[in-house]
Copies of this chain bind each other. A is one copy, B any other.
């Protein structure tokens, strides 16, 4: 599944800044950053449930907002970018 994660974490308090770091870290564990608070992931159903449960333990439900968008199996015709390109096509071969 191709999943987009977007978040707004309230960083006005020190605990908020800590939550932000933790949320970003988990998102990096499961996907790659394409914009400041936007991540693209390719996950199985099981991986997504584990990822989501970790995020649920971090956030403040009154202050923070996390959104998961389910974009189907095929990323290629789902996204169009203008300007600075920051994402790698997770489905393409990585040549090192």
A positions within 8 Å CB-CB of B: 4, 6-8, 34-38, 52, 55-56, 59-72, 77-87
Known contacts A35-B65, A36-B8; A83/B70 CB under 8 A: no
Known contacts A38-B38, A77-B70; A8/B84 CB under 8 A: yes
Distance (whole angstroms) from the CB of A95 to the closest CB of chain B: 24
Q: Name A34's closest neighbour in chain B (CB-CB).
A: B67
Distance (whole angstroms) from the CB of A40 to the closest CB of chain B: 9
- Which of B65, B77, B80, B84 is within 8 Å of A84, CB to CB? B65
Known contacts A35-B6, A38-B38; A79/B84 CB under 8 A: no
Distance (whole angstroms) from the CB of A72 to the closest CB of chain B: 8
In the bound complex, do residue B85 and residue A65 qualify as a contact, i.e. CB atoms below 8 Å apart? yes
In the bound complex, do residue A81 and residue B63 qualify as a contact, i.e. CB atoms below 8 Å apart? no
How far is A36 from B11 in the complex, measured between Cα atoms in Å?
Answer: 13
